[in-house]
Structure 1
Amino acid sequence: MTAERGAGPDTLEPAAALFHSLSDPTRLTILQHLTAGEHRVRDLTEHLGLAQSTVSAHLACLKDCGLVDSRPQGRASLYSLTTDRQLLALLAAAEDLLSATGYAVTLCPTYGIGAGK
């Protein structure tokens, strides 16, 4: 994604979809767990204290977006990050941006903490 002139909404839609896939705290937590290596749904369910169906739905979203992959292991599947280095760099850049802005986004009435609730 570049800041070129003439870059319209059509060229930015994939980036918007990527950021939307990362907009859920549960999905970010799952990605954080996967930075340590492969996990089964059961492992993630235990770590997160969420229902299996909830974890599976978030993994399906992340897989559809190309951020995680799975491989069968017996009757279970092992999930892993598809692009460790790039995802970690993106998350580190997000932390840097949050720090640089003093976490002002948390006060945003649309997207901040408690918005729309």
Structure 2
Amino acid sequence: MAGESDESDLRPPVFSLEYLQSGWCIQDCQQAERARMLERLRQISQRTWREIRQLDRHGYGTETISRGSIRAVLPSFLTEDVRLLAFRAFDLVAMVGYRSGRIFHVIWIDREFKLYKH
């Protein structure tokens, strides 16, 4: 997973909410926040992974998040080789998860800027 560079780089991301963690989930968001996140996912999905890697982390790009900076319990399936990434959902709200090929698995939605040390 580290350094994803294959044909999936030329395709847009697909977002999965399958592994969202309790307390950091879409159901914890207000309706207006959900609408803004959905619009952001649509916008990000218009770009390829290669384009996203070149964009600013505060815009439509990503940033790598250190495992040690995460303040929530790490699910057991997040092994040491999994690189955590954050997308800006809107304002200061981040979607943190990992990439596997084209798929970005969202693990946490950080609405209160508390998930990781900045």
Return the TM-score normalized by structure 1: 0.27
Q: Which has the higher strand share?
A: 2
Q: More helix per residue: 1 or 2?
A: 1
Q: TM-score, normalised by structure 2?
A: 0.27
The structure showing larger relative contact order (alpha-carbon pairs under 8 Å, at least 6 residues apart) is: 2
